[in-house]
Amino acid sequence: MNGELSSTITKSAPEQADERDDENDDRTHRSSFPDADARCKLAPRGDGGLRFFAGPRRDPAILMVKAAADSLQAVLAAFGGVSLVPRRWRNRAGCTEASMRPSPPAISCALLLALAASAHAGDEFFPIKHVFDKNEIPVVVSDRQTEFSLDGKSWSPAVATWVHPGWAQLQGATWIWRVAKVSPDEAHNGSPVITFRRRFTPPAGVTRATLRITADNAYKVTLNGEVVGSSGELSAASNVDDGHWQTFDAYAVPLKPGENVLVVSAVNYHSSATKGDGNPGGVVFSLAAPRESAK
């Protein structure tokens, strides 16, 4: 991410209106819950309506959300089948929706996974834009089973990295990098080319899929040794004003029976930033197949 240049972008009237609404929402739940020192803010429903959750840092619900980073199953068990939407979620008008019904399991899991990516009490969770097609089934996503290497010889597990609020999100996928938060040196000078590798075997009968991918800042992706696509320049010397990480590139790709290998080379451009959250690096991808193609 190029923090220096992106900061000069003029926000549109709708974006400015959303910021004013967010400020009003902030004042609403601060006054409603004066003891709150931890809060979440995201869009857990398909209609995109914002919901807020505020409460004391040691509140059981806050702790459960935080625990999602370590164990999704532990969180689900802790709720014991009760609605995963606490009574204190609030709509944009500040009205409590105590009658909200539990979300379908898939949505609930996706919600918790989204929170788990950066669940720390006291943080603010931004609205999340998910890319998901109900007519598709996931084949593989970026996660901690993905490996990374700096030399193509020595491989280590990829790390779930700090997620910038401006980054788009893929359903079920995790933004990954070589570290949880880039160092001040990388933030300022950029990263070397980092290669990510994900081995997978598609479900029986699945011979084609759609790859969705983006990176902060540049990437090149291959599947089974064949170049699929790229975005940006794989050089830390680059420093262009890009917003590639706000959207996804989509590619139709063939799959073969047995093991397939997806390889992504990525780089984080240099900037004037001196902190990791000022110029974060990350890659996210999802490979999904038509539902009817799976046996």
Confidence (pLDDT) at 239: 59
What pLDDT, on a 0 to 100 scale, did the predictor assign at position 228?
A: 96
Tell me the mean pLDDT per 10 residues along the chain, length 295.
41 57 48 42 38 45 46 42 35 34 42 45 35 75 95 94 84 91 80 95 93 92 96 70 71 96 92 67 93 69
Per-residue pLDDT at 21:
53
Spell out the SS3 assignment of the chain. Answer: CCHHHHCCCCCCHHHHHHHHHHHHHHHHHHHHCCCCCEEEEECCCCCCCCEEEEECCCCHHHHHHHHCCCCHHHHHHHHCCCCCCCCCCECCCCCECCCCCCCCHHHHHHHHHHHHCCCCCCCCCCCCCEECCCCEEEEEECCCCCEEECCCCCCEECEECCCCCCCCEECCCCCEECCCCCCHHHHHHCCCCEEEEEEECCCCCCCEEEEEEEEECEEEEEECCEEEEEECCCCCCCCCCCCHHHCCEEEEEECCCCCEEEEEEEECCCCCCCCHHHCCCEEEEEEEEEHHHCC
* Whole-number pLDDT of residue 78: 44
Residue extents of the structural domains in the chain: 3-128, 131-293
Global model pTM greater than 0.85: no
* CATH architecture, range 131-293: Sandwich (2.60)
What's the pLDDT at 240? Answer: 58
Quote the pLDDT of residue 276: 58
What pLDDT does residue 143 have?
Answer: 94
pLDDT at residue 256, rounded to an integer? 96
